[in-house]
A and B are shown apart, each in its own frame.
Chain A
Amino acid sequence: MICSVTDNKLSIEKSDPGRRGLWCKNPLRAKAKLPAALLRKSPPRLPELAEFDVVRHYTRLSRLNFSVDTHFYPLGSCTMKYNPRFNEEAAALEGFAALHPLAHDTCAQGTLELLHDLSARLTELCGLDAITLQPAAGAHSEFTGLLLAKAYFEARGENRTEIVCPDSAHGTNPATASMMGFTTVNLASKPDGRLDVEELKKHIGPKTAVLMLTMPNTLGIFESNIEAIAKAVHEAGALFYMDGANLNALIGMVKPGDFGVDMMHLNFHKTFSTPHGGGGPGAGAIVCSKALAPFLPVPTVKKENGRYVSDFGDGRSIGKVKAFFGNTGVLVRAYAYMLAHSAKEFGEIAVAAILNANYVAALLKDLYPAYSKEYCMHECVLTPGADMTAKGLKTLDIAKGLLDRGFHAPTIYFPNIVHEAIMIEPTETESKETLDEFVAAMRDIHDKGIADPQALKDAPHTMPVKRLDEVQAARQPNLRW
């Protein structure tokens, strides 16, 4: 019964002692002679399965997922764009995949050249001067950025202890700040969703190390007073950090360095099309100004006499944030994506991303009021209308209704400052037809929800499981077999 659609067994429950998938028959096994005292007392409780059992088990699991390839996935702030097949093929090339991270530089010329060229192109796209590709993810980049700030101020003999961020910021901003021993100063956003420059001025000063600002912000709005913001930050002697999670709205259209950004992070798994893999691996980068460059993690790559070499800096580096070079396998994919775009074509990504978000908003805002009355950038934040709220319908119900209609839900209940937020980021790779179908589904949810609210509250009806008891999961954690 292993292939039954109703099968929800764990791999261990399919195990049959003595069954095997793979063997290791290397005759050198016979040379292993280790003292018995060092050996484990009992074998690990792992499944014993034939190869086909394993393949069928995980193939079955894969089919329980929604994914970009199978479903429209408009998860706001996550940039779930198409992940080109070519990138996967490039990363799998033996020359890249089999290279040991401690290989001698002479053996790694291809990868080093790739990293060098990728670095150069990214710094140019951002309008900044230097880069590290070492962080493994966005939050890891934030951590790296704040370390740079710390080192920068220490070198100047300044003790700055505060990180300022707006209340619309991603949770990783304040979490990273406190992980680093900084105090977070939260700024209330203006009613239009923007940072209040007067509030900012009141809250920054000699204690401020960094302003962390997502651009466009998590409401999908650009901080149009960006020049005044950058000026205020710099006058306070602080640094301006741009959270680049939403860079897809700006790529190829502007250079963040022109705004006065001192450093920013990139999420390769968002803007640069590398797959999310169910939650990772991602890869991050910090792109920064000359003033911060000496503190970047080591090694970076430089070209010397026609050869590429690891550069360990001049001793001012913050050190390592990760073993080895970073998630190079992800960076190879990002580079493949780079090759497929000229600067002008990057600009077209921003254009299509912005068009798509506004198109969805325009077709839904009569039923799902938009938080902002302006045009949005790459994502729009909608809310359930008063008629749905009156029937007791919530954003969560709408999300589940979408699953029944074959769409992944948008990001919900974020940003926190919007009550019942529905944050929709279509990305540039979705066609008008897909958006039309999504709009039709959202409108259908509205109509059916008003007609029969209970049915929507019970959604989803067509998924492998119904709504799950998260309270029980947290109260009596069952985390393993």
Chain B
Amino acid sequence: MYIPHTKKDKEEMLKTIGAPSFEDLVKQVPSKFLWPKFDLPADSLDESQAAARMAGLAGKNCRPLNFVGAGAYDRYTPAAVKAITSRTEFLTAYTPYQPEASQGTLQAIYEFQSTVSALYGMDCANASMYDGASSFAEAVRAAVRVTGRKKIVYAAGVNPQYMDTLKTYFAHSPEYSYVKVPLKDGAMDHAALPALLEGAACLAVQTPNFLGLIEDMAGVADLVKKAGALLVAAADPVSLGLLAAPGDYGADFAVGEGQSLGLPLAYGGPYLGLFSCKKEHVRQMPGRIAGLTKDKDGRRGFVLTLQAREQHIRRDKAASNICSNEALCALAATVYSALYGPEGLKELAEANAGAAAFAAERLGAITGCSLKFKGPFFNEFVLSVPGKAAALREKALAMRGVDIGLPLAPLYPELGETLLVCATETKTEADILKLADAIKEAL
């Protein structure tokens, strides 16, 4: 319990209020509903007991040497990032409704928006969304609003969880249709695009795609534009230290999962939805946006702006219902990017590509295993395995404590028995040799 009131405080307060008893204060609640019996533990735990319980639970999670990625990546969180995000002036503040008392949060959001815009090569970005999946879904919604069309064309390499989330967003509207651009060698089949794009609101594509391959985006934006559609691109932000930015290949909306920028895996959240776009779509952006302005004395300051799009002003006419975002995660990503800088992010991206390349070389050489696709990949790749991939994963986990990758059959049955294997900059040559040994032993 974290309540400061003593018995005496309560009595004095009631007296000031002029109420004979607490029950008088809650007379508006029908008395039959008050103070029911709860089937809950009779006693709470003191802090040391609670600490033991939490440590016990945390200890029941095992810590394999992890090679699963698939949209959430093993990253190192720098000490300076933790130090800044645990500053409770950031941690325990709310949405900056009083700008004069929130310049720290507001400037940090402005710097976050700038960081995202720079990484993605886009004109502007918002203050963040819940996660990559919700950013993706909101970008497609925006494309639908801009074009007035209801046909959504998407590459088969888009993260299936993103597509699930998108379809849930549109669940109320049976008039929306989804058209998949098939895979060709693990990437988008360009030849199929012109026909599929006819009448489309957008082409939604992810690169590196879910299978790890880097999509060839040359000429794609022209095809999309010709069809009167918009290009929605999802990209891992760390990959953009090295790879072409969505702005380079003409994306209208660019989104991504910001967890990559040094956030802990934490079993799925809190993560960080990155959302950016071309300036002509700025008023279609959902969520909070910070802007730079001046105060009465002409001094630089920051405010939440373009609020005419938002739910607390527009109510049922709002661009989105979003209220909370992931501000603290956005701060972490901003600090992470500032610490590494452009050179450091390039190094990180190279280390990812290098670690995955080395892993692919080693695993591809195991008898019975082979790389499913030939194209260039970033930090994960698809490995064909003999026998059941799911059983192989369980065996390697039990025998060697190595999580060798995600079995893809439930998501992409057409790929056969395969694993999606990921190696980030957190993996050493020795780790990857252990991975290869674990697979060999489990086979």
Contact = CB atoms under 8 A, between A and B. Distances in A.
Contact of B347 (A29, A258, A259): A29
B42 to A, nearest CB: 6
Interface in B94-110: 94-105, 107-110
Given A46-B338, A59-B84, A171-B311, A68 B269 contact: no
A329 B264 contact: yes
Contacts of A460: 100-101
Contact of A278 (B96, B114, B121): B96
B104 to A, nearest CB: 4
Interface centre among A86, A110, A224 (most CB of B within 10 A): A110
Contact of B267 (A44, A111, A259, A355): A111
A320 interface: yes
A175 B141 CA distance: 14
A10 B334 CA distance: 12
A474 B306 contact: yes
A38 interface: yes
B195 interface: no
B134 A322 contact: yes
B83 A55 contact: yes
A21 B16 contact: no
Interface stretch (A234-242, A358-366, A387-395, A444-452): A358-366
A100 to B, nearest CB: 5
Contacts of B361: 31
A411 B97 CA distance: 8
B64 A107 contact: yes
Interface stretch (B69-77, B220-228, B363-371, B435-443): B69-77
Contacts of A11: 111, 334, 338
Contacts of A182: 172
Nearest to A277: B328
Interface in A334-379: 335-336, 339-343, 345, 347-349, 351-352, 354-356, 358-359, 362-363, 374-375, 377
B267 A96 contact: yes
A132 B94 CA distance: 25
B78 to A, nearest CB: 6
A106 B341 CA distance: 38
Given A100-B72, A349-B3, A403-B98, A177 B316 contact: yes
A329 B55 contact: no
22 contacts: A29-B351, A63-B89, A66-B102, A100-B267, A110-B58, A137-B323, A139-B321, A147-B171, A150-B172, A181-B172, A226-B33, A277-B331, A280-B270, A322-B131, A324-B268, A325-B268, A339-B53, A342-B41, A343-B38, A362-B17, A403-B98, A467-B295
Contacts of A327: 130, 268-271
A54 B81 CA distance: 9
A5 interface: no
Closest 7 interchain pairs by CB?
A: A324-B268, A95-B58, A277-B328, A110-B60, A281-B270, A101-B268, A175-B311
A184 B2 CA distance: 39
Interface string A439-481: 0000000000000000000101001111111101110011111
| Size class of the contact patch on chain A | 35 or more
B406 A51 contact: no
Nearest to B269: A327
A467 B99 CA distance: 8
Nearest to B273: A136
Given A70-B89, A140-B130, 7 more contacts: A32-B354, A80-B92, A171-B313, A279-B95, A279-B324, A323-B159, A428-B3
Contacts of A139: 311, 321-324
Given A254-B34, A474-B305, A46 B83 contact: no
B39 interface: yes
B324 A28 contact: no
B3 A352 contact: yes
Given A55-B83, A95-B60, A355-B13, A23 B347 contact: yes
Contacts of B268: 101, 323-328
B13 to A, nearest CB: 5
B374 interface: no
Interface in A152-176: 170-172, 174-176
Nearest to A75: B94
A290 interface: no
Contact of B113 (A41, A318, A329, A479): A479
Tell which of A111, A181, A320 has the most Cβ of chain B within 10 Å: A320
A61 B93 contact: no
Contacts of B183: none
A429 B341 contact: no
A250 B34 CA distance: 9
Interface string A69-92: 111010100101111101011110
Interface stretch (B146-154, B198-206, B284-292): B284-292
Nearest to B357: A31
A1 interface: no
B184 interface: no
A83 to B, nearest CB: 5
B74 A100 contact: yes
B281 to A, nearest CB: 12
A291 interface: no
A61 B168 CA distance: 38
B293 A47 contact: no
Interface in B156-170: 159, 161-162, 164-165, 167-168
B282 A280 contact: no
A138 B306 contact: no
B329 interface: yes
B192 interface: no
A120 to B, nearest CB: 9
Nearest to B83: A55
A472 B320 CA distance: 24
Nearest to B167: A319
Contacts of A384: none
Interface string A1-42: 000000010111000000111111111111111110111110
Nearest to A90: B54
B275 to A, nearest CB: 12
Interface string A240-264: 0000000000101111001100000
B76 to A, nearest CB: 9
Interface core residue of B301, B331, B345 (most chain A CB under 10 Å): B301
Nearest to A52: B80
Given A38-B376, A253-B35, A477-B291, A227 B51 contact: no
B117 to A, nearest CB: 5
A293 interface: no
Nearest to B107: A61
B413 interface: no
B92 A276 contact: yes
Nearest to A14: B338
A330 interface: yes
Contacts of A49: 338-339, 341
Contact of A330 (B123, B269, B289, B334): B269
B104 A64 contact: yes
Contacts of A315: none
Contacts of B257: 323
Interface string A213-226: 00000000110101
A465 B327 CA distance: 21
Contact of B1 (A226, A341, A343, A411): A341
Interface in B371-391: 376, 378
Interface string A97-113: 11111111011111101
Nearest to A192: B28
A296 to B, nearest CB: 12
